[in-house]
Structure 1
């Protein structure tokens, strides 16, 4: 008697793209039509655009971590771990589980949405002394660290040490860096009122970027408006400047300035997940080169999307690729799910086409700049647009309720400036939160798959 096995669909990555794909597959495919597996190191989807508000205490960490196991109606099998290599010829994914076991997972169709990691450069001391803003743990750690600097400055009798602990440097003038600097500056500005021994004038925030303009994606006028808001708050903005070297107690800028500080936050962009390098496939600036239907050329059943794929942006025209933003990842995930289903049914695939909805930048309080659908907004209307967009983009009603409650409570009661003591006895490094060293080379992937195959036989 012949047995018919269901197609195996493997989705790599639990971010916007991967989760959107999985949920659509669950809704549109009957339970017996295919087996769906999701590989992700965490059992939640992180709403990354709100991480600066977690770092500043406006939101709790749980409110932006959307559980993938909350409902029993979801039938996707979750493998808790990270994909560290893919053998496209053998159709096998190599996974390192959270117990440090290395296992292989065969598939018939694979959706690659591993996301991105923090982009770093060969700057002396950067990875040892900087903090990122890419993970939930980093946001929680930075909040603890910033409040700890106020405590340590208050306890210090050394004027030089006190001044150094009250200086903060953020590198990156995109929306992530700008929001981080804006939200954390509001945190320290409000918290210093609880420290009568500290001079508020000693608290200095520096926002630097090598680009000539702040948030060029917003355009000339809104970028200038954001810069004026931050400058009015006392944040010193330096453009055309980067970091020459970083130390435990000072940072040297490329213009020669030396800033005594214990806090360097690095938000200078992202690069595709190192998983892409294991595929031995064509890339575009590190992102996997795919067709407009998000298929990998020359490989049947392989789809790639999100931050790790150079998906052609048909809305912008010839040669453009979609930027690594949440709105594109979310919509690409749904489109890939439809294309996987079309492949199973033998139907033609549809290319991805989405007009960018614009950017929203929450600077805290009633300060914001937004450009939804090309309409330039400032102040309270921009803040309503920014928070309204984020709120509606949250995937579950529970997450929406938590975020709205946090916003209302913070606006009424403020912050208690409590730190949890997270790694308080151990200084974290940039690489402690992103496991970039775990990936295999293409040769190692093939060797591991062959060895696993021999063990099975």
Structure 2
């Protein structure tokens, strides 16, 4: 269940290693693509087209896998039945011998007044497309406005979250508005202000002291106002209040302050750690026969660190866990002992747009064009089809040669979207509802 990095890699490896007739594979996912999440900020900035980061499952998966268009909304672990809500909103079910849970994560929120109503996320392809339209719309509306107060509020943008998603989102979108304002002769470029804030004392601490400081300097040199040790106290339709007391006129609040496990995990009645499903080092769920979990929703022990550490919810971990779990499923089918997941870190890459980047491959600190080459080379290798690689490389080349475009496509133009509109968090069933639907669905045959 799930077509993110973990689920897709697990399926691909099963297809390659299983003998024909040895098993039947079904992949339950609402979309027939794998979203390449690390490049989503570049979709929001218009550097890449949405299709470029939506890797077709029907190209990357072989014909052995049956793709079920829907999402698992509950599991009857005793009957070994997964309840599926299809994209038509009808409920169906899938029987299983072995269930792999890779439902991923949703945007983590806090009890901050106005946050859910007025913030936008950066977790789905639709959100990235919406944010691009929204940001360009603010420039259009500010250019047409005769009210200085309205113009100021439309030209201030706040991104919350100093991790990779937030930092790259702020960097890419700030680059977009800097290029776009040249097409608006009535707008003063000095009025456009981007704010990146995070409650943590350092920006992307995973990069280390020197590289993290360099990333901070790059952002500030480009005019992005970075505030650390600060978060949001209240969000409104045309202003944002920071925890340090500042009140900014603002109509664009982008929230990237972490992720939480899929709500599906809370319906299983199994043990969790910070919302993530407890699993063994082999990624099986204790007490649930035939159930495995990995990726963002599973608390997979990080044996390389020890001391009860769990793997962070990153694409690199999810990708490798998918391979390791596929191998364990094959071992289980063939009566062989399972092997624990052990991770070896390959490093980090951060693309800040243009020639700005910082990278740390295999512990080597890079910045500027060398870092950009490593970052983009890594992304090209990680994309799973040659078609996706060609599209991304072509988009990068076109953007470098021709520059940005500033076209709004009118996506949800008259509907103010909120954090929850794109993530379908209300689709899941309680354990009681699962049992009820399981009984009725099975009775109908």
Instruction: Report what 2:72 is aligned to.
Output: 83
Question: How many angstroms does 1:288 deviate by?
Answer: 0.6
Question: Alignment partner of 1:84: what SS?
Answer: strand
Deviations 1:416-435 (Å, cap 9, x if unpaired)? 21111111122111111000
Question: How many angstroms does 1:72 deviate by?
Answer: 8.2
**1:346 matches 2:335:** yes
| The one of 258, 266, 269 aligned to 1:277 | 266
Whole-angstrom distance in 2 between the partners of 1:277 and 1:95? 16
**1:440 matches 2:397:** no
Question: How many angstroms does 1:446 deviate by?
Answer: 2.1
CA 1:71–1:296 in 2, change beyond 3 Å: closer, same or farther?
A: closer
Question: How many angstroms does 1:448 deviate by?
Answer: 2.0
Question: Alignment partner of 1:430: what SS?
Answer: coil
Aligned pairs for 1:58-457 within 5 A: 58-70=47-59, 73-456=62-445
Question: Alignment partner of 2:333: what SS?
Answer: helix
Question: Alignment partner of 2:59: what SS?
Answer: coil
Whole-angstrom distance in 1 between the partners of 2:242 and 2:436? 45
Whole-angstrom distance in 2 between the partners of 1:171 and 1:276? 26
Deviations 1:368-414 (Å, cap 9, x if unpaired)? 11111111111111111111111110011111111111111101111
Deviations 1:299-344 (Å, cap 9, x if unpaired)? 2321110000011111222311111111111111111111111111
Unpaired runs of 5+ in structure 2?
none
Whole-angstrom distance in 1 between the partners of 2:379 and 2:432? 42
Instruction: Report what 1:4 is aligned to.
Output: none
Q: Is the 8 A contact 1:277 1:442 kept in 2?
A: no
Whole-angstrom distance in 1 between the partners of 2:242 and 2:289? 48
Whole-angstrom distance in 1 between the partners of 2:109 and 2:268? 22
CA 1:29–1:54 in 2, change beyond 3 Å: closer, same or farther?
A: same
Q: Is the 8 A contact 2:72 2:85 kept in 1?
A: yes
Number of equivalent positions: 445
Whole-angstrom distance in 1 between the partners of 2:300 and 2:62? 32
CA RMSD of aligned residues (A): 1.1
Question: Alignment partner of 2:303: what SS?
Answer: coil
Question: How many angstroms does 1:297 deviate by?
Answer: 1.4
Whole-angstrom distance in 1 between the partners of 2:220 and 2:212? 12
Question: How many angstroms does 1:223 deviate by?
Answer: 1.1
Question: Alignment partner of 2:200: what SS?
Answer: coil
Question: How many angstroms does 1:71 deviate by?
Answer: 6.5
Question: How many angstroms does 1:51 deviate by?
Answer: 0.2
CA 1:305–1:73 in 2, change beyond 3 Å: closer, same or farther?
A: closer
Question: Alignment partner of 2:58: what SS?
Answer: coil
Question: How many angstroms does 1:19 deviate by?
Answer: 0.6
Question: Alignment partner of 1:401: what SS?
Answer: helix
Q: Is the 8 A contact 2:284 2:292 kept in 1?
A: yes
Whole-angstrom distance in 1 between the partners of 2:196 and 2:65? 43
Deviating beyond 6 angstroms after TM superposition, the runs of 4 or more aligned structure 1 residues are none
Q: Is the 8 A contact 1:127 1:429 kept in 2?
A: yes
Question: How many angstroms does 1:89 deviate by?
Answer: 1.4
Whole-angstrom distance in 2 between the partners of 1:447 and 1:20? 33
Q: Is the 8 A contact 1:291 1:297 kept in 2?
A: yes
Whole-angstrom distance in 1 between the partners of 2:303 and 2:18? 28
Unpaired runs of 5+ in structure 1?
1-11
Question: How many angstroms does 1:298 deviate by?
Answer: 2.2
Question: Alignment partner of 2:117: what SS?
Answer: helix
Question: How many angstroms does 1:219 deviate by?
Answer: 1.3
